[in-house]
């Protein structure tokens, strides 16, 4: 739920204990961009993030939203397992994610 996701982003912000976050099939959307990108950037032990089945293609439509999330991926130096399956990101969305992860 939106409230549940907002609470998750708040709890995991600057958290040095959480290693895994699974929000698969959870309708992640534009309202989650700020909290999720901050969590990804500041959660210092985050190794695994499952964002599969969220139709995140909606985030690629609004300039800057998907870019902000992808920059957070690139800024997290502990993330080793990222699942973006079934999000219909398209070639541009995948390219933005790949470039961020590669630091390009």
pTM of structure: 0.90
The total number of structural domains in the chain stands at: 1
What CATH number is attached to the domain comprising 70? 3.80.10.10
d(CA 45, CA 90): 29
83-93, pLDDT tens digit by residue? 999 999 999 99
- Quote the domain boundaries for residue 87: 2-102
What kind and span of H or E run contains 33? Answer: helix 33-42
d(CA 25, CA 75): 24
45-67, pLDDT tens digit by residue? 999 999 999 999 999 998 799 99
Confidence of residue 10 (pLDDT cuts 50, 70, 90): confident
């Amino acid at each position: 739920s939106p409230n549940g996701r907002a609470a998750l982003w708040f709890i995991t912000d600057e958290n040095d204990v959480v290693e895994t976050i699974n929000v698969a099939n959870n309708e992640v959307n534009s309202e989650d961009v700020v909290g999720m990108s901050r969590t990804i950037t500041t959660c210092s032990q985050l190794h695994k993030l499952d964002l599969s089945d969220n139709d995140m293609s909606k985030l690629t439509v609004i300039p800057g939203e998907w870019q902000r999330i992808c920059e957070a991926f690139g800024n997290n130096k502990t993330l080793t397992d990222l699942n973006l399956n079934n999000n219909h990101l398209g070639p541009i969305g995948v390219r933005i994610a790949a470039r961020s992860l590669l630091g390009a």
